[in-house]
Structure 1
């Protein structure tokens, strides 16, 4: 726009100089027309503000790294030839990061034009997007007018990739061989059996269906790992803001969320009622997962709850939760490695740790003092991991 103004000023000056030295009437007429041009364009810009229409279309969600675009439809009157200057701000509720998207649009006149603004989907979390400014600029750049009625507030969520895996939780130490330790209302509930048969529920994996028995009994039946009645499980979401101070760690955050969601979904499909626990600033956030609806609520809350600033220095709150819920098994999905913290949690319940890191190249399992730790690479996918023993 500066170039346009310089060109305009130089043109007017040359025409006036030509008239002064040559007394050319045509040069004077051209200079007068150029001088009047800003008045005309400003008047056209002002008259177009009330007639211009903006509309927006935004998907509600996507999976991490999937294409995500904000569609902007702009309908402006035939007489106006200029452009729109828009500015959007996007805020990630999970990480607290904020980004600004400036947009310059120059659509064809007299008909609606569709523009697509590509948004960043590399970082998981619930995002809010707001139109901060919308200004109408004339073709020469002489004036810029704000659109007072232009308003847009949207919400979209970038979910982690959820892997289709099978989990095999070890039975809690309190589960003995007595029949009373197992659910009497489910067939095959004794300590020596590996699998149970139960009716199919919405959300169960297709590969868990027992097709031979389903055909025999004319009812959809599912095979699942045998579990004890007193086996209460908690999944600890161990991701904190101090782990993701650099944008390069976005893949690690997505992987931690993905493993947490994948384990929860696998447990839910196998009939394990469990809780997912996060540690934002303040008290613990506890989400019960009993069915697919509970899983969806948990994942929505997990992606919208701000990460806690740092790892807790005390596990007193979790100890109270263990006592209140009767938790016998803890699955900790974390980024950092803190052996002392593992030992302290392992004193409260059986503990399995999933350590997610971009410096790990392959899966490996280690046995600690009173816990098991599985090292998981960030670049994992469903083709590389089929089951986890917790």
Structure 2
């Protein structure tokens, strides 16, 4: 705007000088100025048309860790870009936080320039970077010409590795040991009794319950239990439409702490998480640290403050779904009643946000002080998310 005012005043002065004095010098200067402006605008029309942009950024980082973002701009034309400007817009899809970084650019012909800056996020979530408002100006910065940008890349900020006090989930009968064996079918594990019944022809003598048979004066058979690998299904709601930014972040941290604690204590479990490529809900086991990191990464990729709750409905409508002995459902919405859709014959524990902390039966309510209320503590293990190589996209 300033350049336009200066040039406008210059043209007015030259025109006024030519009219008042009648000197050809002012006319020549005015004509030369007009020619320069026309040439400058023509150059601006063709400048910056063949600029390719790309982001170079880590796939994931960790809360409160410094990360570096680079944007490469390759001018594939011989015409240099003398004046250009744009902005990098970022948004945390989980919490809704956003901001812009303004850029002033100049590019040489047939060269690539890298724009680098550092960032740091105190909140976990999927951060989307977009290059927008890419404009090229003429030589004198008077006229701006829009150029196509539209590139975007995502980076996931992982929460700190934390563990949770799982005893909180067992105060009302959530016995982890009992879920290691099926309640619906017998097996061959002598460590647990599935059922005691009367003798039937073909039963093994080794299965006779001698003590009970002596008391009842009948031959009684002790059936062994069938061990199960996926007794507990952990569900966390990534869609938190209309909630405060703290609510979805709390869900992500609690979900991560529960996953880590189950993995660390080697309790057989699975979780339902969306596949970023297909968008389909998939069941995954959590057995190793790599499983934990990949699952939490995929959860954050799909989490958004703009999405409606859907994880339980998508799990139920899956024709290949399995029945589990217990379900843990984590949500940030106090009015969320999606847990009522889960099988009633199973043990269901719901961890939800509310105004007051409470533990009523199989429902646990947490507040803004959820770390203390749920016994969530950071681990001593270094996460190392930020040490991953940058990806070029």
- Output the TM-score relative to the length of structure 1: 0.62
Provide the rounded CA distance (Å) in 2 between the counterparts of 1:69 and 1:166: 35
Q: Secondary structure at the match of 1:366?
A: strand
Give per-residue Cα distances to partners, 1:48-78, cap 9 Å, x unaligned: 5378775542222223565555323557899
Q: Which moved more, 1:37-46 or 1:83-92?
A: 83-92
Indicate whether 1:268 and 2:247 are aligned. no
Distance 1:309 1:78, change over 3 A: closer
Distance 1:183 1:22, change over 3 A: farther
Report which of the two has the higher share of strand. Answer: 2
Report deviation, 1:135.
2.9
Aligned-residue CA RMSD (Å): 5.0
Indicate whether 1:171 and 2:182 are aligned. no
Provide the rounded CA distance (Å) in 2 between the counterparts of 1:147 and 1:319: 44
2:58 aligned partner: 59
Select the structure with the greater relative contact order (CA < 8 A; seq sep ≥ 6): 2
Structure 2 unaligned spans of 5+: 194-225, 379-393
2:359 aligned partner: 366
Distance 1:158 1:25, change over 3 A: same
Aligned length in residues: 328
Q: Secondary structure at the match of 1:58?
A: strand
Provide the rounded CA distance (Å) in 1 between the counterparts of 2:50 and 2:315: 62
Q: Secondary structure at the match of 2:58?
A: coil
Give per-residue Cα distances to partners, 1:246-267, cap 9 Å, x unaligned: 5xx2222111011111111111
Quick check: 1:74–1:107 contact (8 Å CA) kept in 2? no
Distance 1:24 1:384, change over 3 A: farther
Report deviation, 1:309.
2.0
Distance 1:20 1:160, change over 3 A: same
Provide the rounded CA distance (Å) in 2 between the counterparts of 1:61 and 1:50: 32
Indicate whether 1:287 and 2:284 are aligned. yes
Structure number with greater Rg is 2
Give per-residue Cα distances to partners, 1:298-319, cap 9 Å, x unaligned: 2233223366624789899399
Q: Secondary structure at the match of 2:30?
A: helix
Provide the rounded CA distance (Å) in 2 between the counterparts of 1:339 and 1:383: 19
Structure 1 unaligned spans of 5+: 192-227
Provide the rounded CA distance (Å) in 1 between the counterparts of 2:50 and 2:340: 67
Provide the rounded CA distance (Å) in 1 between the counterparts of 2:336 and 2:39: 73
2:196 aligned partner: none
